[in-house]
Structures are given as C-alpha cells and as structure tokens.
Chain A
Amino acid sequence: MSTSGVETPFRRVAADFAESRLAIAGLAMLILILIVAIGAPLVSPQNPYDLATLDIMDSKLPPGGKSLEGMTFWLGSDDQGRDMLSAIFYGLRISLGVGTLATVCALAIGLTVGLIAAWFGGWVESVIMRVVDLQLSFPSILIALVLLASLGQGVDKIVIALVAVQWAYYARTVRGAALVERNKENIEAATSLALPTSRILFNHLLPNVLPPLIVIATVQVAHAIALEATLSFLGLGMPITSPSLGLLIANGFTHLMSGKYWISLYPGIALLATIVSINLVGDQLRDVLNPRLQK
C-alpha cells in the first residue's frame, strides 16, 4: 500500500482492490462485457431483433457458416437464422440491464421495509413480516403468469416480476440482521443519546446490516439473470423476437442433445463469464469496503 501521493479514500480502495490479481482479471472481463453490451448495436454484425434481416433458410448453421447474403456467422446461427454472436451481444445487454435493475429495486425495497420492521416493531413489524411470508410463498411462475396475462409481454414486466419475487427475501434477511444489531451496545448507546431515528438507522444500523446483504446481492444479480432464463424456459420470459441471454439459453436447451451445440453453449459461456466476473469484482469490493475487515 505504498502508493505515492496523498492517501485519498478512493486510492486506498483502488490499491486494496488491486491486491488480488483474480479481481483485476474479473474487472477487465466485466469492463469488456459492459462495453460489448452497451455498444451492442455498434459492434454486432447484424441486428438480431429486426425480423427483416433474418432468413429462416440461414437457420442452425454451424460456426463459420455463411448466410445466403454472404455474411459469416462466426458463432453459428440459431433456429430463426439469427447470428449467434449478435444475439449474444444484444442478449447480454438485456440480461445485464434486467438483472441489475431488478436487484437494485428489490434491494432498495427490501432494505427499507426490513429496517422499518426491525426498528419500529409492534404491529408495523407484524404486518410487514406477514406480507413477506405471503410474498415468499407465492410461486414466482404464478406472479409472472398473472403479470403476463394482465399487463402483456415485455422487459418492464419481467423486471416487475423479478422484483416482486425477490424483495421479500431481502426484507427478511435485513430484519434478521437488524434485530441483532438493534440490541448491540452501540445502537443502545445511540438511542439513549436520543439521536434522531433517521441518523441511527442510516449511520449505525445500515452499515452493520450491509455486509451479509452485499453477499446476497452479488449472488442475487446472477440469480435474477438465471431466474429470468428459467421464466423464459417456462415460456414466461422476454418476447421471443428480442431474446435475452436467458431466452437464448432456454431456446438452445431444446438443441442440447441434437449436436447443434452452439445454439445453447455459447450463450451459456457468455452468461457464465458475466456472472463470474461480476462476482470476482463483487467479492473483492466487499472485502475492501467492509470497515470491519480493515487491517
């Protein structure tokens, strides 16, 4: 940690982060994936969401195959004649967006609700926790199906479904952790000092419930993406003409035993790479940011 110059918090974090070579590799991979995902329309050879550019006669070509119009499918084509490479780039964009957005929303709702429950107790807590019980026992497919039937298909509906499925999970975990923290000396001290509630909540309670939450959250981004894939697998996911990574994998599932491995394998590898890199970065960040782990 003997970097030159002034010790700013950012530099300290950056330096700590750089201690792990694995995390650096993960970060590099994540940045690459983000660039590809955000710049998908620019780097893709084809717009896989435009039906006019697809030709069914180009379908299921192996990697390196050429389309009727002479375009090369470097990773092969899917069952509609989509270039797999382009489809993966576009799919990454949707999956990452959906996964992150859903996790952030669910985390925000769960955190707020969980903290409120733990702090106020009494009937507030009872009501909140029973709602959480209900939510946890409501099958996610049923939620997705009801949303699909009443609101129609679309990316926003999937995000709503994922948030609806996940927020209760955070709420329960937060409340559990907060209950313990609430009774610890520092909080009791703060309460007896009559500090404002919001300050106790945010300055004292929140930092202490965050570590287990971050662990769950990094896992849950991945879980959200996988859940979206599962919903697609059950026919409740994205519109089929604009496939996410999950939908690509779900579609490829039917081709797993057929020998046309590329339809399923490459999206799978892309998903794996994404999630591994998110977690490598997430793990290291958590260790670095956690004040209690400072040496």
Chain B
Amino acid sequence: MIARLLTAVLLVIATAIVLPAAAAELVIGLGADVTSIDPHNNNAAPNNSIAEQIFNKLIENDPRQNLKPGLAESWRAIDDLTWEFKLRKGVKFHDGSDFTAADVAYSIERPGIINTPGGFTIYTRSIVEKIIVDPFTIRLKTATPYPNMPTDMAGLSIVSSKVARGATNADFDSGKATIGTGPWKFVRYAKGDRIELVRNDSYWGPKPAWDKVTFRLITSDPSRIAALLAGDVQMIEVVPTADFARLKTNKDITVFTTVSNRMIHLHLDSNRDKSPFITDKAGKPLDKNPLKDARVRKAFSKAINRNAIVERVMEGLAIPAGQLMPEGFFGVSPNLKAEVFDPEGAKKLLTEAGYPDGFGITLHGPNNRYVNDEQIVQAVAQMLTRVGIATKVEALPFSVYVSRANKIEFSVALLGWGVTTGEATYPLRSLAATYSQPKGLGTWNWGRYSNPQMDALLEQGLATVDNAKREKLLQQATELLINDAGLIPLHYQVNTWAARKGLVYVPRTDERTYAHEVRPVP
C-alpha cells in the first residue's frame, strides 16, 4: 500500500519536473485584478487591457493614444450625422471564420442587451442606426452631430456575431466564447491568479514574438517587485515609485517610462455659501466660503510646490501639471504652464481676498487609488499650512471616499483623471462643466465649479465635427477654467514598466500592458 502510494507520489513529482519548458514564453506580473474576460462586461482598465489583446477594435490606439486603423482600414464622416467605416478584408477569427460588417453591427448591439454595471453603452448609445452597405463597409448614424465617434470606436472590442450571440459572461471566462481577431488566443483564466494566452499565428498584424504569454495577478506592490527580482516574472507593470530608483541601477533590469494620460488634481468647493470642512483658525465653522473667491483658489494653486511633490513624493515619476492633459493630446492649450510655486504671491492674494491670517480647512483624498495619493494630500497640507491656512488631512479608502465625494461632502477633494479618450472634451465635460443631470455634464465636478462662458465653449465644441475648429474651442475652454482656478491640477502621472534585461517595451500613455508589444532586444 505504502509502496503504491510512494510510486504515485514519485510519478506526480516526475511529471511536474518534466513539464514542457515552453520555448519563448513570457510571464508578466500585472498590478490590478482582472475580473472578467468578457470584453463588454465591465469597462475597467485592467479588464480592457486583457480583452484588447484577444479582441480587436475598429480603431486602435498607438502608444501615444493617437488613433490608428484596427479592424477598420479607414473612416470618415460622410455628413454631420453619418460615419462610414471601411473594414479590413481577409481577417479571420480564432475559430477560422471570416470577420465582416455583421460582427461589427452585433458588437455595437451587445453592450445594450447584456446587463452589466460598468457597461460599454457609453460608446454605442449615440448610434441610432447601423447600415451594412456591403460586408466590408458599415455606416453609423447619429441623431446629432457627433465628432467623437472614432474615439468611441477605439473603446469597443469586436466579438464574433456567431459565437458571442447568447454567450454569457461565464462562457467568456471559460474560453467557449472568447473568440476574437487579436494577436493572442485565449487558453485559460484562473480567477485571481493568472491568464494564459497563446500566439494567434494567423494574426493580420505584426506577429507577437512569443509562443505563449502568462499574465500573473500580483496586486501587492513589493511582491510584484520581488517576483521580478526573483525571476518568477520577466516583466511587471506599475513599478512603485519608491523602488524605481533602485531598479534603475540594477544591471539585470530595464525600466520603461512615459507620461500618463492621468492627471491628479484638487476640486475646490467653489459654488456654495458654506463649505463643510472650512473653519476659522480656532476650528469654529466659518459662515462664509472663501473658496467661492477665485483669488483664494488661485492662492491655493500658488502655495503648492509642484516640483517638490514630483521630486520628493513621486520620486521624479510625475510631471507638474498646468492643465487637464499632458502635451501632445488633442485640445491641449499652448498658453498654459504649470503654476509657479509662489508662497508670497499666495499670501498676498489671501490678504486681498480678506483672509490675511488664513483660515482652517480639511483636505480629503483616497488612500488606495492613485500612486502615493495620501502622501500627496499630506504634502499639499504642509504647503498650505506654510501660507497660513491651518490644514488637516483625512485619507480614506476609495470605496468610502468616492461615495462621499459624489455627494459633495468635502471642501477640497483629490481626484485622478485618466483621459482614456485622449482628447479634451472628456475631462472638460466630466470635471469642469456645470453640473447638469439632463445634459449629462459635470458628472464628476466635485467642486460644483460653474462658469457659463466655459460651458458655452464646450457645448459648441462637442457639436463641432471639424477638427481644427473643435480643438480651438476646447483650448479656449481649458484656458478659462485654469485661469479661474476652477480646479487645481497637480501633476501628470508617469507610467512605468520594468523587465529583465533583454526585453523592450514601448511604454504607453494609456497604462495598457500589451504582451505583443514586448519584444526581445534585437
């Protein structure tokens, strides 16, 4: 009996040892949990990053988030209300079937018919009609002029209309319905642990350099670094700022960085007569809201030493911000620079506004959402204290924080905004436009900042299809907002990756980690 057991155990061990040492296998450590493989289930960045490697979109983003042809070879607006997409010919799904316009039509329908929380209908609901002209031409009609159609189509994965029809979320997680046109084919998804993909040898674009890729979910930052140092993974994303300097000097490791589309900023409660967390210096509630005064808001901005935050808190892995998006994005104003640190100027503005001795305030921020979020809030609090504003800090878990912030319970609140669309209407309408339920504007305007002049420019921009005209309008709107200190930008994050020596990755502004863009050093 024991002998039998022993042989069994030995056999198991032996099989474990002779596991095929796969040629050219890549293992990547991811920093956030992937909750589903269904590309239309939950519109969250970690999920999208995986889905976009198995599925394609009509339009893809290049590493700087410029639009480039994906499954659509070209697109144009034939009139103010119609967009036409010419599709790529000869593309095959992983099951060998052909990709046609019917798949596009179905993929646009699907987000609206499956019941999910963070859905993809935001990309599809402007479309009132889909016209399949021929198998490789599709026209999308909208009710009002809609310039953002290409950006929206750069967010929607195309599934197979045959396989995905009626498929559930579970069918995608098991692989049954996970049939795309992308560079990788699905192998296995072990929840909370790993995702395994193999190369799609009949991919229409450049072939991946690896036969197989495994994404391991290692959400604890130091553990992810340790896994890289120990050689258990060959590449990791989201390198913690604290470890970056040391990794950079490590001879076995290469690091890759680029500016992120994510801007960290403060919302100031600027439209109410009283603000919940503003007191006099003794701690008694103030019956006036100093933040209504643009001079006080400007003083806040001047009091903040952005270079110190970048250098000390972010260890250099950030760029001081002067507007909503870093250089190179659509709608960035050439006239805006990051506010210069000027404590004397800040004190002067406070005096002018009638607060020569400052007042008391509590800053709120999350403590588990953005890179070093609670350290940033603390540093800002230090700086405000130095110009005479007695500042307290409360850092909360995001789950508690976001609900309270949405109810406008704070006086100053920190938020990070990733401009996934790569253009300025998105941050302007979400963060800065006057809050309006029917118009769907100002959804995340936590300061309830309101500037009718800016609203008018933005609304005009949202309906202008001509690119040059639209960009001008958006630049003007941004300048109005920033010069009025409607919100206070702090910095743009920097996206980071680290890999074992011998690998190269083209770093991306959109925080995606694409295995097919990891290549061995030539």
Contacts and interface: CB of A to CB of B under 8 A. Distances in A.
Say if the two chains contact directly (CB < 8 Å). Answer: yes
Interface of A: 51-52, 54-57, 59-60, 79-81, 145, 148-149, 152-153, 234-236, 239-241, 253-260
B367 interface: yes
Given A80-B382, A81-B382, A235-B395, 9 more contacts: A51-B382, A54-B382, A56-B309, A57-B308, A148-B396, A240-B367, A241-B381, A241-B392, A258-B243
Interface string B347-391: 000000000000000000001100000110011011101100001
A233 to B, nearest CB: 10
Given A57-B308, A145-B399, A260 B392 contact: no
A183 B312 CA distance: 66
Interface in B247-294: none
A145 B379 contact: no
A56 B312 CA distance: 7
Given A79-B313, A79-B375, A254-B221, A239 B394 contact: yes
Say what secondary structure dominates the interface of chain B: helix
A64 B240 CA distance: 26
A148 B397 contact: yes
6 contacts: A54-B382, A56-B309, A240-B367, A241-B393, A258-B243, A258-B246
B520 interface: no
Contact of B378 (A240, A256, A258, A260): A240
A153 B394 contact: yes
B242 interface: yes
A143 to B, nearest CB: 14
Given A56-B313, A57-B308, A79-B375, A260 B242 contact: yes
B132 to A, nearest CB: 50
A257 B312 contact: no
A259 B381 CA distance: 27
Nearest to B242: A258
A256 B208 CA distance: 36
B374 A240 contact: yes
A62 to B, nearest CB: 14
Nearest to B383: A56
Nearest to B373: A235
Contacts of A59: 312-313
A254 B382 contact: no
B14 interface: no
Interface residues of B, number: 35
B118 interface: no
A241 B396 contact: no
A257 B246 contact: yes
B397 A235 contact: yes
A81 B243 CA distance: 18
B368 to A, nearest CB: 5
B313 A259 contact: no
Given A145-B399, A241-B378, A254 B368 contact: no
A149 B400 contact: yes
A51 B222 contact: no
A259 B246 contact: yes
Contacts of A234: 397
B382 A56 contact: yes
B312 A148 contact: no
A151 B350 CA distance: 33
B245 interface: yes
A152 B404 CA distance: 12
Contact of B395 (A149, A152, A240, A253): A240
A51 B381 contact: yes
A55 B382 CA distance: 7
B225 interface: yes
Contacts of A148: 396-397, 400
Nearest to A55: B382
B226 interface: yes
Given A148-B400, A258-B242, A51 B391 contact: yes
Contacts of A81: 382
Given A149-B400, A236-B397, A56 B308 contact: yes
B222 A52 contact: no
A157 B303 CA distance: 33
Contacts of A236: 397
A175 to B, nearest CB: 35
A80 B245 CA distance: 18
A145 B368 CA distance: 13
Max chain B C-beta neighbours (<10 A), residue from A59, A241, A259: A241
A258 B313 contact: no
A55 B309 CA distance: 11
Contacts of B221: 254
A236 B400 CA distance: 10
Contacts of A57: 308, 312
A58 to B, nearest CB: 9
